[in-house]
Amino acid sequence: DQQVKQNSPSLSVQEGRISILNCDYTNSMFDYFLWYKKYPAEGPTFLISISSIKDKNEDGRFTVFLNKSAKHLSLHIVPSQPGDSAVYFCAAPFGGGAQKLVFGQGTRLTINP
């Protein structure tokens, strides 16, 4: 049962433009969401999170939007830079406060110069 889904396996964006990565979820009990970034042969690193009581959280070039009625969140990166090329995972904690996370399948973002 895939509770968190990223339906786009890959995305290609021109440098300087906006990158939008999408994530859908099925479990309405999730109370916050996280985005992780992963380079090849490295572990995921935390990027940004959002609580379910908010609809937007911004950190520099990165903004996450949450639409609870649609069970959808998105990560916006603007302007996109070559160093943003990576795989992005959305995730949500399940089973209590501990960091048991359920991850989406990931979206590979490529920023073209």
**Residue ranges in contact with another protein by CB under 8 A:** 4, 6, 9, 41-46, 89, 91, 95, 97-106
The residue (of 60 and 97) whose beta carbon lies closer to another protein is 97
Q: Please report how close the Cβ of residue 14 comes to another protein at its closest, in angstroms.
A: 26
The residue (of 72 and 100) whose beta carbon lies closer to another protein is 100
Q: Please report how close the Cβ of residue 39 comes to another protein at its closest, in angstroms.
A: 10
Structure tokens at 21: 């990565």
Query: Bridge partners of 50?
Result: 33
The residue (of 78 and 105) whose beta carbon lies closer to another protein is 105
Q: Please report how close the Cβ of residue 74 comes to another protein at its closest, in angstroms.
A: 17
